[in-house]
Chains A and B, each alone.
Chain A
């Protein structure tokens, strides 16, 4: 025999099978159309007024940020150096659970370095909330950090207790240092904030983010917060050209004080060169948990149903009239047939899914923008954003993965209706159960079932503050769960093909 078997030719054979049944081609096109169509409809009915009562402002890059703290500052022009010793930092203890209205709510632990009570020093482009800054701080539980412009963070030493901090401005760069004794200094990082005019505000501050309490389950979720405060003592304050220190609450702390926070947003008292500062508020990213991209991709679930049907039929049609014998007579190595089928179906479904999600994005985003999804709460997403690209590609991969699971289940069951039903239940069942289950309990469901793949649709980090259970896990975990399902079901199908008579 001159010709050798080759896997690419097997792929071509399976592709020929897939494309030559016109009903399937129509269904594939339909999957993309369903995705786009439902996304469009859902976007049309989705409105938000989140920007009207916001606890965030626009940051230097247009993103939603929180910018509230108590700042003891003075104006300074040109290059400068500020050194202080944070003698102590005492955060107010927050309760682990509170009752708000009729809901028993638990405290949301946020490990972000932006969400810690902190005492530090800062150089800031004025006192307008949302303006550029760079700071070095001692946090209550995470040691020393340097941060700037609400999203950049450099970790310093993990020490707690009294710490010397220093900021040095030189032209457009600000360098942060820390020290245990005020003599031996370690550099933490160098920042170039977006806007740094020659005249800036410089000083020391205390921040203490509100404690967030949440409850979810029964198909809904609610979130509430309670302001907290922290107290810190600063001494050894040294600024090149000493002016007068002036204490001021930055940001909208009136609202916080109404709810039992620190009156006036904080205060400062001075005795023998030691400044005792009480502050409240958060400095850092403050995106709404709602995900604009997820809101633009509602139709994925519809496209998914069509792709499941294709995946299953691509397998079961081989069995309905015994064509599987023709297939295995042509290619006796059954594992290769299964691999070729999975690759052809997976690639096709991925491309169909990609058309669906990109189409949804292009169509639904402009509609959402007309209906309140605007900055600062929702910066305009672009196809070129990393998070948008990741979301669209992973969502298409999720759709392809589920189609391949449908294929494997079709091989295992050899029965179209049963296989389609089971695959759909595998996706939708855990979603429904996860909506109802309270608190973080649906997390394990998302980590173990195909429903976890829905997490690929989120561009934002995981959160437990939303009703949808898939928001609890990250997109990579979501696609990982789907990949595991693909591997396990294909493995079972392969094993069965090898051992069973055709």
Chain B
């Protein structure tokens, strides 16, 4: 059967907090599915529920059609990176992978392969406690890849990676999806998923906000927006706003016009004798699209007493 993760009406409450509240979605093969939402939205809890580490109060999660806890060699079906620091600091990187490999009947040679793949071959005999956050992250990714699984889950994989590492992990996820695997990547930074995710599952306060393909989302967010490059920004804003458009400043010589088609913008500016050097359809960033999506749909304000929600800032 095609690799996939199915989450059905999942609900999990920790004492007074409902962490996951009736969540349903499917992660499909051949795609990178972004799992987004602010910190505390329930992403990590959902992943723990999928992995059978926590028990849901209601609903269930299936991996390749089975509950995770019924899998006998789960590392060969699902590779997961939850928390890169979840290892014994006194253990060498290679030994950390070795015990994992033994537990699922995976050969020693595979350990060397994944260490090569994540670029840790030279650090294999070093204790994991001395690793930088980025190196621990790579080790965690190596552990996820160990069983060559058709389904992969990464919780905030870019944490602590340097820019090279971020480029590397994007490429890795793209290639994993291209091989036909189902890949679920959580992030609270939309920018990380730019050019990586094919599909987006947005959650807030444990509830599903959107389950959409990235292409559609971007098209919707870009619709009816025109970017104008002009030296006379103020005048252009006045003219276009008077014609009923919403104008936002996007740069020193750039405005984004919403609510008027491109030819009408061009005509209005020409009519008012405002020179402009460029007029093109606006291509929304994923972050913008996400903000559109969530505007009004969720409150980002934290619950009373909770720490302030980090919001993506780029």
Contacts and interface: CB of A to CB of B under 8 A. Distances in A.
Q: Answer yes or no: do A and B interact.
A: yes
Interface in B91-137: 91-92, 95-96, 98-100, 102-106
A280 B76 CA distance: 81
Contacts of A22: 90
A4 interface: yes
Interface stretch (A6-14, A140-148, A178-186): A6-14
A502 B54 contact: yes
B68 A20 contact: no
Interface in A1-50: 1, 3-6, 9-10, 12-14, 16-17, 20-24
Contact of B53 (A13, A20, A321, A329): A329
B76 A1 contact: yes
Interface stretch (B80-88, B197-205, B231-239, B242-250): B80-88
Given A20-B92, A20-B99, A326-B143, A501 B75 contact: no
A14 B103 CA distance: 8
A325 interface: yes
B73 interface: yes
B139 to A, nearest CB: 11
12 contacts: A4-B72, A13-B103, A20-B98, A21-B90, A321-B83, A321-B87, A323-B86, A323-B88, A325-B53, A329-B53, A331-B74, A501-B53
A22 B83 CA distance: 24
A332 B105 contact: no
B88 A317 contact: yes
Chain B interface bracket (under 10, 10 to 19, 20 to 34, 35 or more): 35 or more
Contacts of A5: 72-73, 104-105
A13 B100 contact: yes
Contacts, number: 106
B129 to A, nearest CB: 10
B51 interface: yes
A334 to B, nearest CB: 9
B99 A322 contact: no
A280 to B, nearest CB: 68
B105 A9 contact: yes
A11 to B, nearest CB: 9
B52 A328 contact: yes
B102 A16 contact: yes
A324 to B, nearest CB: 8
A448 to B, nearest CB: 35
Nearest to B89: A321
A24 B90 CA distance: 9
Interface residues of A, number: 32
Contact of B99 (A13, A24, A501): A13
A330 B75 contact: yes
B216 interface: no
B77 interface: yes
Given A17-B99, A325-B86, 8 more contacts: A3-B105, A17-B88, A17-B91, A22-B90, A323-B88, A326-B100, A329-B52, A332-B71
A9 B90 CA distance: 22
Contacts of A1: 72-73, 76-77
B312 interface: no
B48 interface: yes
Interface string A137-164: 0000000000000000000000000000
B55 interface: yes
Contacts of A332: 52, 68-71, 74
Contact of A321 (B55, B68, B88): B88
B55 A501 contact: yes
Nearest to A336: B103
Nearest to B140: A326
Nearest to B53: A502
Interface string A437-456: 00000000000000000000
Contact of A4 (B55, B73, B92, B99): B73
Contacts of B103: 9-10, 13, 327, 330-331
A328 B52 CA distance: 8
A330 B83 CA distance: 14
A20 to B, nearest CB: 4
B83 A329 contact: no
Contacts of A24: 90
Interface string A163-188: 00000000000000000000000000
Interface string B50-68: 0111110000000000001
Given A330-B104, A502-B53, A20 B48 contact: no
Contacts of A321: 83, 85-89
B105 A325 contact: no
Contacts of A4: 72-73, 105
Nearest to B103: A13
A325 B45 CA distance: 12
Interface string B244-282: 000000000000000000000000000000000000000
A326 B102 contact: no
Residue from B55, B92, B96, B103 having most chain A Cβ neighbours under 10 A: B103
A495 to B, nearest CB: 14
In the A-B complex, the 6 residue pairs with the smallest Cβ-Cβ separation, listed nearest first, are A20-B95, A13-B103, A5-B72, A13-B102, A16-B99, A322-B86
Contacts of B91: 17, 20-21
Interface in A314-350: 317, 321-323, 325-333
Given A9-B103, A13-B102, A502-B54, A3 B82 contact: no
A21 B69 CA distance: 28
A312 to B, nearest CB: 14
A325 B82 CA distance: 9
B43 to A, nearest CB: 15
Given A322-B83, A501-B53, A12 B104 contact: no
A9 B53 contact: no
B86 A9 contact: no
Nearest to B96: A20
Residue from B76, B91, B95 having most chain A Cβ neighbours under 10 A: B91
Contacts of B51: 325, 328-329
A329 B140 CA distance: 13
Contacts of A12: 102
A139 to B, nearest CB: 63
Contacts of A333: 69
A175 to B, nearest CB: 65
A174 to B, nearest CB: 64
Contacts of A322: 82-83, 85-86
A9 B52 CA distance: 21
Given A1-B76, A5-B73, A12-B102, A328 B92 contact: no
